[in-house]
Amino acid sequence: YFLVLDSPLSEAGVLGFEYGYSSAAPHILTLWEAQFGDFANGAQVIIDTYIAAGESKWQRASGLVMLLPHGYEGQGPEHSSARLERFLQLCGDDNLQVVVPTTAAQYFHVLRRQMRRPFRKPLVVMTPKSLLRFPPSSSSLAELAEGRFETVLPDPVPLGPEEVRSVALCSGKVFYDLAKARQDRPAREVAIVRVEEIHPFPEKELRSALERYPEATDVVWVQEEPMNMGAWSYIAPRLTPLIGADRSLRY
C-alpha cells in the first residue's frame, strides 16, 4: 500500500516521528522530504542525536531516507543549500549514506537498494529540484528495470584516454553545466566523472575511473558551493592519495 499524510510545520517533530517509525517498521520504506533542503535546519537536533548517532549509542538501526532539495537554482542563499557539508561532517564508521543522484534511474536504484540490503542505514539524498523537469536527467524504462545504483558514473562521452589531459570530478547537477560547456567549446581534453555516492567514499570505483586517463595530470573537484561549503573539505583529503604524486588536485 502507499500512504501519504500531511504533516505539521515542525521539522524536528515530524523528522523525530519518522525516525521512530523507521526503527519500528524496518521493512517499510520511510521517506522524509524537505520542501527546501534548508528545512533540515529546524530538525538538526534529531539528525545529530538520533539519525547520525543512534546506532552507535543504542544499537538501533534505521533505514530512514531524507530527501533534501539542494542546488543553486535562483532561490537565494537560504533555499539554495541543504548544507551537504554538515552531513559529511557527521559521517563516520559508515553510519550514514550520502548520495547525490543525477539521473532518474540512479534515484530509483538507490531507493531500491535501500530496501533490498540486508541491513538498515539512514540515507541522505541531495535532490536538485531543477532535475525533476530536466530532459537530460531522465532515464529509459530499460535503465529503470535493469542495472543497479552506481557510486561513480564514468564520462558518457567516448573520449580517447590519450587525449584527456584533465579530469573534472563533480557531484550533482553541476555535471550538466560542465557537459554543456564542454559541448559548446568543444573541449575533448577534459573528462567529466560523477561521484554519485560521497559517503561511504567510493575509493575503489574512483581509483578505477582515474586510471582510465593515464595522460591526465590535472584533477579538479568542481562544485557549485564556495570552498568552505559542499563536499570539498571531505573529498580533498580522500582524493589526494588516489591521484598519485604526478598529478595535482585543485578546487
Run means of pLDDT, 10 residues per run, the chain, 251 residues: 78 94 96 90 95 95 96 85 96 96 97 97 94 93 96 94 95 96 92 98 96 94 96 96 89 97
* DSSP 8-state symbol, 220: E
Confidence (pLDDT) at 69: 93
Confidence (pLDDT) at 2: 82
User: Residue 108 CB: number of other CB atoms within 10 A?
Assistant: 17
Beta bridge partners of 99: 125, 197
What's the pTM value of the predicted model, to 2 decimals? 0.93
3-state SS class at 98: strand
Q: How far apart are CA 53 and CA 89, in angstroms?
A: 12
Q: How far apart are CA 123 and CA 111, in angstroms?
A: 9
User: Residue 116 CB: number of other CB atoms within 10 A?
Assistant: 9
Residue with cell 524496518: 26
Strand 190-195 to 166-170 pairing: parallel
Residue 170's Cβ-count burial label (10 Å; 0-12, 13-18, 19+) is buried
Q: How far apart are CA 60 and CA 166, in angstroms?
A: 44
The CA distances from residue 141 to 8, 102, 179, in Å, are 36, 16, 23
As a whole number of Å, the CA-based R_g of the chain is 19
Residues in the chain: 251
Confidence (pLDDT) at 30: 96
3-state SS class at 250: strand
- Which are the contacts of 179, defined by CB distance < 8 A and separation ≥ 6? 136, 157, 192
Q: What is the dihedral of CA 136, 146, 169, 78, to 10 degrees?
A: 60
